[in-house]
Structure 1
Amino acid sequence: MKYFISLFGIVSIFLVGCSNVIENEERYIQVQHRIGDENKYADFKKITDNEQVQKVKDILNEIDWEHAKVNMTHPPDYRFIFPYKNPKIESKAVTYELWITPNNDKVELVIDAESNYVQLDTGNSAELFEILVGEELSNQK
């Protein structure tokens, strides 16, 4: 019985320590927009609302990515990054590149470092774009 209580205590301490790491993690999305026709970007928006950050993560996690190297006609319209700031966890920030389709009804995403591509459906495109940019996708030029 003493061993069981000791084991339970050790596991409890471990779980509390792990949960603190997650709580201390600063979660946000940095959005950048393309300047002109060049492959140059400027910071556009920082999304810090936890619900919006989680919704973007949910959309991205539900995607069936295609493993493909794509060659688009122009640089991405937007880029967004989840840069995690937690000194206890070393993780790489993933850069997502976003293009607006010619009909302004869908977005295409690329994770260049992983050679992943997807074109989102109209619903997810509109929701993702509105969170990231703060405007309706259909109102883009």
Structure 2
Amino acid sequence: MKKIILLFSLLGVLLVSSGCVNEMIGQKITVQNRTGEENIFEDFKEVTQKKQVETAIDIIENANWENAKVEMARYADYQFQFPSKNSSEDKIASYLLWISPNGENLEVITDSDRYVKLTKSDSADLYKILTGEELIK
């Protein structure tokens, strides 16, 4: 009887643990930065802290997006991806990010022709999360 109770207890712990691990999978943001003057990106950072990931996703999802095809004068400074919360599929949301010429705002474009220029506050917060550095130079 003791062995059965021990077995079920162990199974319960394993099931709870695996459920927590599955929930954590995908809760990260992958950041890449542009190298040189070409449109070539290399892995830069992974943001895995749950609070930072949630904050970044909230900034992106609550931004005032415009449905517009925008062509920028130069290649993006960064690109980043994270799992999309709005989809039942395992879809990755991908974004290109530019630092505005004045260095105070971030401009973001999606692959589905959506554009946003973030507020100074949101820009500073998102940049800090994605790079670990302050935005204003």
TM-score bracket relative to the smaller structure: 0.7 to 0.9
Per the normalisation by structure 2, the TM-score is: 0.78
Q: Which amino acid is the alignment partner of residue 53 of structure 2?
A: V
Contact 1:106–1:120, Cα closer than 8 Å, also in 2:
yes
> Taking every aligned residue pair, what percent have the same amino acid on both sides?
42
Contact 1:68–1:115, Cα closer than 8 Å, also in 2:
yes
Report deviation, 1:26.
Answer: 3.0
Per the normalisation by structure 1, the TM-score is: 0.76
Say what the alpha-carbon RMSD is for the aligned residues.
2.1
Q: Which runs of 5+ in 2 are unaligned?
A: 1-18
Contact 1:30–1:83, Cα closer than 8 Å, also in 2:
no
Structure 1 counterpart SS, 2:54: helix
Contact 1:104–1:138, Cα closer than 8 Å, also in 2:
yes
Report deviation, 1:90.
Answer: 3.6
Q: What is the CA deviation profile of residues 81-121 of structure 1, one whole-angstrom value per residue up to 9, with x for unaligned ones?
A: 0147xxxx64221111100011100000000x210000011
Q: Which amino acid is the alignment partner of residue 28 of structure 1?
A: K
Task: Indicate whether 1:133 and 2:131 are aligned.
Answer: yes
Aligned length: 117
Q: Which runs of 5+ in 1 are unaligned?
A: 1-18
Structure-2 separation of matches of 1:123 and 1:130: 11
Contact 2:26–2:82, Cα closer than 8 Å, also in 1:
no
Q: 1:22 to 1:39 in 2, by over 3 A?
A: same
